Amino acid sequence: METYDVVVIGGGHNGLACAALLAKAGMSVVVYERESVVGGAAVSETGVWPGYTLSMASYVLSTFDPWLIEELDLRSYGLEFYRKDPYAFTPLVDGRSLLLGSDRAANAREIAAFDPSDVAGFEAYGELTDRAGQALFNAFSDLEPRFDKFDRELQAVFRGSAADLVERHVKTPVLQAELVNDGLIGTYLGPRDAGTGYVLAHHLAGRVLGIQGAWAYVRGGMGSVSRALALAARKHGAKIVTGRRVEQVLTFGSRAIGVLLDDGRDIAARAIASNAHPRSTFLDLLHEGVFDGPFVDKVLQWKTVGPSLKLNLGLGELPNFTARPGSDPQPHHRATIHVAPSIDYLQKAHDDARTEGASKEPLIECFLQTPTDPRLAPDGKHILSVFAQWYPYDRPDGWTPAARDAAADTIVEILGRVAPNLPGAIEHRQVLAAPDLERRFGLIGGHIFHGELLPGQIFEERFPTRTPVANLYLCGSGAHPGGCVSGFPGKRAAAIILGDLERNAAASSAGATS
């Protein structure tokens, strides 16, 4: 029987980070990934359309742990990223637009064109969200996370709504909509719902470029992150096996002792780290009766209904926005493109999904990496990566092919209102609704964060890295600090596993010599 110190279930980026760190510390480690490639939702695929490289699910980087980059020397394995700047662009159907970036003076001019009094409010908003994001980032590595560590003002931000936070600082509707968007991504709540303030701060916590809250494109697509982690893991001796599924976590009494693979082999291990969704880990990989009733109830009640739809478009030319004409690469083509004129617009998009099963006019967030990384597409072609809400996993009429096409058609039609050339520029189209995200990436309920990142499911109320089964650990986004391509759950799991294994070994040695 093969035996390892640690078996890692799932080769998503967190599983790979966990494996690499444990292997570097001298542990024997094997990773089993059910797909033919590693990376989970942080993956680049080349076989979808000829000549294109698609970041299939995740698409930008911010919260990734800079310590991991240095500790594992990921740049030497090809990891390269660069700032997304300008960072936000919202075109309006009346021909106006708002473009924000790193240039404070340019931001002031853009905002003052709508309301000069909002310039100071925008600065104050940035100071508060920088402080909130910094506090969260500093807590992401905590081995014993506690929400009560934050001061009263920050707790109020995290428990409140994104709309309240934004409206307290600025009055211009389009500016409000542009800012509030960070509180909504991946979340099945509207901007006026409590808890979205935390989601907003979480999305501004990143420091991957050494700049609080900045976001980056990854050269070659998001799969470059996973590829670098896998190369680092292998360099330190970890074994990575693709195309092999773990069917069961094997237990003896209340301890995990190994895994059963889909080819019938048993693999023994001193510890098992699961990068899978908590529901998959606890309900699918372990036999009934392992957990007590309250823990099973927590798993069953875990909020993991995903509201997101990913639409990838291959374009023959760049969008030509009425507000800023031209289909040659311009600064606004590098930014996140939002189509939402107000907070009320976004709230209605959420409310329509709750009452009718899908948004009539959804939240739309678009990215064009190809103007700055042209190798991702054939010459003269572009990729428009669209993230849309709210298109929930559990829509009453189901996700038929017709429903997927209708959602995509709606998104394209809305984009065409501000960029009239866009519908005719589309040469390829791929729709990934929430059930597709579940099937392809193991995201139960299609939830991109392994469950809502909201009070009640964050910090100590998220699933602990140490599970109720001894020697079984969570190393994925179901554990603190949750979702985004960060590597923190994998890093935390590696530290906890290594400490436990060393203590167990010391205790065994002491027992043997006593």
Angle in degrees, CA 426, 428, 430, rounded to 5: 115
CA distance 449 to 186: 7
Q: What own/partner pairs with CB < 8 Å and gap ≥ 24 does 376-380 have?
A: 376/52, 376/53, 376/54, 376/220, 376/221, 377/51, 377/52, 377/53, 377/314, 378/50, 378/51, 378/52, 380/316, 380/317
CA distance 358 to 399: 11
Q: Which residue is it, tokens 């969260």? A: 136
Looking at the DSSP bridge assignments, the partners of residue 251 are: 256
- Which letter does DSSP use for residue 74 in this model? G
Phi, psi of 396 (to 5 degrees): -60, -35
Give pLDDT, residue 77. Answer: 97
Give pLDDT, residue 512. Answer: 67
Which residue from 434, 431, 448 is spatially nearest to 42, judged by alpha carbons? 448
Angle in degrees, CA 395, 397, 400, rounded to 5: 95
* CA distances (Å), origin 479, targets 96, 201, 483: 43, 18, 9
18: left (phi over 0), alpha (psi -120 to 50) or beta: alpha
* CA distances (Å), origin 134, targets 21, 104, 176, 455: 25, 20, 22, 18
Q: For every one of its 514 residues, what pLDDT tens digit does the chain have, with 9 covering 90 and above?
A: 799 999 999 999 999 999 999 999 999 999 999 999 999 999 999 989 999 999 999 999 999 999 999 999 999 999 999 999 999 999 999 999 999 999 999 999 999 999 999 999 999 999 999 999 999 999 999 999 999 999 999 999 999 999 999 999 999 999 999 999 999 999 999 999 999 999 999 999 999 999 999 999 999 999 999 999 999 999 999 999 999 999 999 999 889 999 999 999 999 999 999 999 999 999 999 988 889 889 999 999 999 999 999 999 999 999 999 999 998 999 999 999 999 999 999 999 999 999 999 999 999 999 999 999 999 999 999 999 999 999 999 999 999 999 999 999 999 999 999 999 999 999 999 999 999 999 999 999 999 999 999 999 999 999 999 999 999 999 999 999 999 999 999 999 999 999 999 888 777 777 666 5
Q: What pTM did the predictor assign? A: 0.95
Give pLDDT, residue 437. Answer: 97
Are the C-beta atoms of 19 and 285 separated by less than 8 Å?
no
Give pLDDT, residue 1. Answer: 77
Which residue from 303, 307, 418 is spatially nearest to 352, judged by alpha carbons? 307
Give pLDDT, residue 502. Answer: 86
- Which letter does DSSP use for residue 377 in this model? S
Are the C-beta atoms of 442 and 277 separated by less than 8 Å?
yes
Residues 6+ apart with CB under 8 A from 70: none
Q: Looking at the domain 2-80+220-301+449-513, which fold is it? A: FAD/NAD(P)-binding domain (3.50.50)
Burial of 506 (0-12, 13-18, 19+ CB in 10 A): exposed
Are the C-beta atoms of 31 and 240 separated by less than 8 Å?
yes
Q: What is the DSSP string of 268-328?
A: EEEEEEE-S-HHIIIIISS-TTSS-HHHHHHHHH-------EEEEEEESS---BTTB--SS
Cis preceding linkage at 86, omega within 30: yes
CA distance 367 to 429: 15
Give pLDDT, residue 423. Answer: 98
Q: Which residue is it, tokens 């002031």? A: 108
- Which letter does DSSP use for residue 464 in this model? P
CA distance 55 to 367: 11
Give pLDDT, residue 513. Answer: 65
Looking at the DSSP bridge assignments, the partners of residue 39 are: 12
CA distance 389 to 353: 9
- Which letter does DSSP use for residue 230 in this model? H
Q: What is the CATH number of domain 85-105+309-390+392-432?
A: 3.90.660
- Which letter does DSSP use for residue 470 in this model? B
Which residue from 33, 32, 30 is spatially nearest to 3, judged by alpha carbons? 30
